[in-house]
Structure 1
């Protein structure tokens, strides 16, 4: 089994081929524009797939087939710590990479500012600088950030709130930071969020992807600060 580098899906694809002795086929499309556009279109393709089939592609979002354990990443830090390992056939207790995915919460709706966007129940918008007072500590869920314009979003994210959205404010002070420059150019920064009761990390990533896909579908672009680091 290969390591998770240079591609995180390699161990899972290896496991599928090992289990089925099947062959894979590939199809590709060229994309005009930079990585912001390409990654947005990738999110849209996955989002449309999820709408059609009610689930994500088989090995998307870090999932590995039952009966296998994925290899670790491959980098100097792990090697120095003695933590790099090869995965393979596995008969132990279930791991995080075996958890099932989450179906879409709703359709990819165009009302990106509403409190029911994509089937979620969003909280009202508040100033991003006040997020630590408005969002209960250690909330886990999804969030969206908007700036001066009401027809687009600046960023869509997931994780522990309010820490994750507040981390974007710190990037404003970082000289030359691409995402920080986008936030710094706004007169208004507001955040809205939806709490999720401790779902597995892969499920949060799936739901986040759906939101980026909806933004791509209806705005024809990923949020301005998405994929900027």
Structure 2
């Protein structure tokens, strides 16, 4: 059995700038100090759960309820930024065609994202993801899984598809995400890197591609 597991943010939807901008604005207000892009990059916020990020920047252990409240405020800022930039509010190049191909071939597939339920519902609605996915099988941060680079999200995704991890393809955009997939024992890992930062994935991905038009995504199914 072969199956495909997608990260979402920065992979299927190029929104890294929106997350960075909303984190910067929110954390500056919360921490009452300047937050630089270098600081966000150094901590590598992408793929981590919001609770972990908030605790890192505030230096405080947060209750689940308080972390959720703060997280929802930050994500509301993020969604507003997405909707304000309609020209870039679309799935990444080649995603729709690739999903149509997987659906036609009957290849099991799902999404494993560190996003919470409010953002996931936003994506399902705005990008019409039910066209390609059983939305009840999408794996997200429901508070019971550890964020990347821990393997939980990908282990759970493979399990929900009924697939052996070694027979799965994971498509990711972040070093933390590809490391999570490697730790889960995923058989094939592709990294999406439009800027061709292949060196960041040398130890964790078999192939680095620019977008979903790359023929390697299709050839993998016949390998």
The verdict on a shared fold, with TM-score over 0.5 as the criterion, is no
Query: When the two structures are superposed, what TM-score results if normalisation uses the length of structure 1?
Result: 0.26
Q: Could you state the TM-score of these two structures normalised by the residue count of structure 2?
A: 0.26
Larger radius of gyration: 1
